[in-house]
Amino acid sequence: MTDVLHPTIRPRRLRGTPALRRMVAETRIHPAELVLPMFIREGASEPVPIASMPGVVQHSLDSFKAALHEAAEAGIGGVNLFGVPLEHDAIGSGATDPEGILNVATRIAREEVGDALVVQTDLCLDEFTDHGHCGVLAVDGSVDNDKTLVRYQEMAVAQATAGAELVAPSGMMDGQVAAIRSALDANGFENVGILAYSAKYASAFYGPFREAVDSQLKGDRRTYQQDPANRREGLREATLDLAEGADIVMVKPALSYLDVLSEVAAVSDVPVWAYQVSGEYAMLEAAAANGWIDRERAILETLTGIRRAGADAVLTYWAVEVAKELLPR
């Protein structure tokens, strides 16, 4: 007769010590799987703190160089660059100007740490337009998908010329991956990869990012970013990007869309990444500052959850801290 008060199957046996828990852990985080988003502000003489993202700054070119070397020494996988220009216009001219802040920063990154880090560039017009949308506007004020694709092609070539190894279209225009791939190949950049923001949702968690890039947005982006209610649509978008030649597909945000991330990972034959966005960062930092959560444990728990759901790499503002201080040695 089975003694129910003395079970023979005891899962707790494998949880008894830190060493044993570490040995049987199913999901691990490695510094090479972390990518640091970075903001570079045109004309800045020193780093400019971002109030809604404690510990994150808009870099001057000098502080940017120092931060690049710190990231390389920490052993993270790469950096994802965003430019913060002084001037904006209707078509985002600064995005394709060789002397525009993002292209200048890209050249610096390749020169300073190009052998140690993957240099990725945000391929979107929202930081550069005076209306804050991710594309060119039609007469009626809507975003003109196909005219925007032309600007994305020009932007991709400019970024590749500056030294980007991965261009990261984040605008959610239909056909953007195919258009960019065509332009890169036609201009001799066959080896530049495309990190496609494939399932990017119209999320409330982008709020602090608006401050980080000095967003000029008027209205919202719900006609091109995905409805948070839709799961199958995220998988459809990723499948389309795969068919168009994406080298990596990404889900954004991460924590509210782990189901989408898991489903994309189940079908993708290329790496799948996720972006732990500004609002996710800000929430944890605010809760920790109030003493409501254990900050370091929460950071690692969220990253582990994103990896467990299927992400091969994670864009996170904690990338360097995690790699230097929080991961077990």
**Tens-digit pLDDT profile for residues 40-91:** 999 999 999 999 999 999 999 999 999 999 999 999 999 999 999 999 999 9
The bridge status of strand 118-123 relative to strand 166-169 is parallel
| Lowest-confidence pick of 29-43, 128-142, 207-221 | 207-221
Measured distance CA(164)–CA(103) in Å, rounded: 9
DSSP-based three-state secondary structure for 109: helix
Per CATH, the number for 27-326 is 3.20.20.70
Cα–Cα distances in angstroms (integers) from residue 29 to residues 22, 77, 270, 277, in the given order: 12, 12, 19, 18
pLDDT in tens, 276-318: 999 999 999 999 999 999 999 999 999 999 999 999 999 999 9
- The active-site residue out of 147, 200, 218, 324 is 200
Residue spans of the domains in the chain: they are 27-326
Looking at residue 189, what is its pLDDT? 98
DSSP state of 163: T
Q: Is the pLDDT of residue 252 over 60?
A: yes
Hunting for tokens 């360097």 — which residue is that? 320
Q: Is the pLDDT of residue 218 over 80?
A: no
252: annotated active-site residue:
yes
218: annotated active-site residue:
no
Cα–Cα distances in angstroms (integers) from residue 272 to residues 1, 229, 235, 280, in the given order: 50, 21, 12, 19
Q: What is the mean pLDDT of residues 84-100?
A: 97
Asked if 124 and 170 touch (Cβ cutoff 8 Å), the reply is: yes
Structure tokens at 126: 């929202």
**Whole-number mean pLDDT of the chain?**
96
pTM value surpassing 0.85: yes
Cα–Cα distances in angstroms (integers) from residue 28 to residues 126, 203, 306, in the given order: 35, 28, 11
Q: Is the pLDDT of residue 1 over 60?
A: no
Q: What is the mean pLDDT of residues 262-270?
A: 98
pLDDT in tens, 163-193: 999 999 999 999 999 999 999 999 999 999 9
Q: Is the pLDDT of residue 325 over 90?
A: yes
| DSSP string for 301-312 | HHHHHHHHHT-S
Amino acid at residue number 270: V
Q: pLDDT > 70: what percent of the chain? A: 99
